[in-house]
Amino acid sequence: MLDTLRDVLINHNANVHRGAYRLSAVATDLYDEARRKISRFINAPSERTIVFVRGATEAINLVAYGNEHLFQQGDVILLTLLEHHSNIVPWQLLAKRRGLKLAFVDISADGRLDMADMREKLSSLKPKLVGVTQLANSLGTITPIEEVVTLSHAVGAKVLVDGAQGISHLGVDVQALGCDFYVFSGHKMYGPTGIGVLYGRPERLAEMQPFQGGGDMISYVSVEGSGWADVPQRFEAGTPAFPEAIALGAAVDFLSRFSRQDLREHERELLTYASEVVGKEQGVTLHGPGAASGAQTTVCSFSIEGVHPHDFATIADTHNVQIRAGNHCAMPTLRKLGVPATVRMSFGVYSVPSDIAPVVEAIREARKMFA
């Protein structure tokens, strides 16, 4: 990925879609090829369903703005208590603009989606749109998105799946899943920052209004008005982050070298081991459904009695462990669990069991210091 990014910046650095000269034509070809790679990676029906954006957050905002005209006052958007702030706040802003109501599906004490509550809210509220994460970044909960899509479509709701974590840790086949939108960020799948993807079913993208205007998203411009380019360019105003998009294609090549099953097994094993080792330390409480449940992967979130997560993260840093502490941009989730913040280990393809020993050392040191 890094080599590709460097190569594009050094050797193919000309704006795409300006193609009268070779540099631009090559950059455009590479950009188009990246779109095709990403389309194949998620089994989209066509590369025209892949919109390049800055990341999952921008993708969700694009869906919220682009579909604004389809919502009427009083319509309901159903989210879940497992969502990242970026799958809550854009809908709150939309709700304010259009007079909509938001509702949230509850979670259990161990952080699983309460499917009985989801069924009840789907049938009583008849939401227009359901937004659900595939894999919660706060707790590592895997949600039953197939079931959510089926149940939601049965009441006429469209479904946006937040795949920011799911894309690299679980994978997706958007056609088999049948979701209306699927969003993800490059930097959470071994790609660069500043690039991400909105996948939309063709009919969903066709009914969306442009969100930003400018170059590249038009078919013509006159002083009286403008016409829109076809999808997906309609939603890609201005100079795109083409080096990052092409490098995201290289990240897809990298991830595609592994079997999905191997990747999932690797992260499941690490989670099992880490939960066991860290969980038996004095004062440690693990959060989430637990590795053995099959409903959690890759993330091990915990609290240490008497030690603030931020203090712990500072101590862990001295053990050369860079660990995330705080609310993980999921304040409603943590509030429901009754904890203000947690410490979170998260694993990837490069993680190994020996990464966990320094975490245990840091826990002991922190307990000695604070508890």
Ligand X SMILES: Cc1ncc(COP(=O)(O)O)c(C=O)c1O
User: Shortest approach of ligand X to residue 188 CB, angstroms?
Assistant: 6
User: Shortest approach of ligand X to residue 80 CB, angstroms?
Assistant: 11
CB closer to ligand X out of 344 and 367:
344
User: Shortest approach of ligand X to residue 357 CB, angstroms?
Assistant: 26
Distance CA 115, CA 108 (A): 10
Q: Which of 10, 2, 8, 56 is nearest to 31 (CA)?
A: 8
Residue ranges binding ligand X (CB under 6 A): 55-57, 84, 86-87, 133, 137, 162, 164-165, 185, 329
Distance CA 245, CA 52 (A): 7
CB closer to ligand X out of 87 and 342:
87
Does residue 300 carry a catalytic annotation?
Answer: no
Element (H, E) at 170: none
Distance CA 360, CA 371 (A): 15
Catalytic residue of the set 23, 70, 329, 349: 329
CB closer to ligand X out of 17 and 344:
344
CB closer to ligand X out of 192 and 210:
192
Unique residue bearing structure tokens 């259009």: 98
User: Shortest approach of ligand X to residue 191 CB, angstroms?
Assistant: 11
Asked if 334 and 328 touch (Cβ cutoff 8 Å), the reply is yes
User: Shortest approach of ligand X to residue 196 CB, angstroms?
Assistant: 6
Compute the chain's Rg from CA coordinates: 22
User: Shortest approach of ligand X to residue 329 CB, angstroms?
Assistant: 6
The pairing of strands 76-80 and 129-133 is parallel
**CB atoms closer than 10 angstroms to residue 247:** 27
Looking at the chain, list the stretches that DSSP marks H as alpha helix, in order from N- to C-terminal side: 2-11, 22-41, 56-66, 89-98, 115-125, 145-154, 166-169, 174-177, 202-206, 242-256, 260-279, 309-318, 331-337, 357-370
Q: Measuring CA to CA, how many Å separate 186 from each of 101, 113, 191, 192? A: 31, 26, 5, 6
CB closer to ligand X out of 57 and 298:
57
Residue type for position 26: V
CB closer to ligand X out of 197 and 363:
197
What residues act catalytically? 329
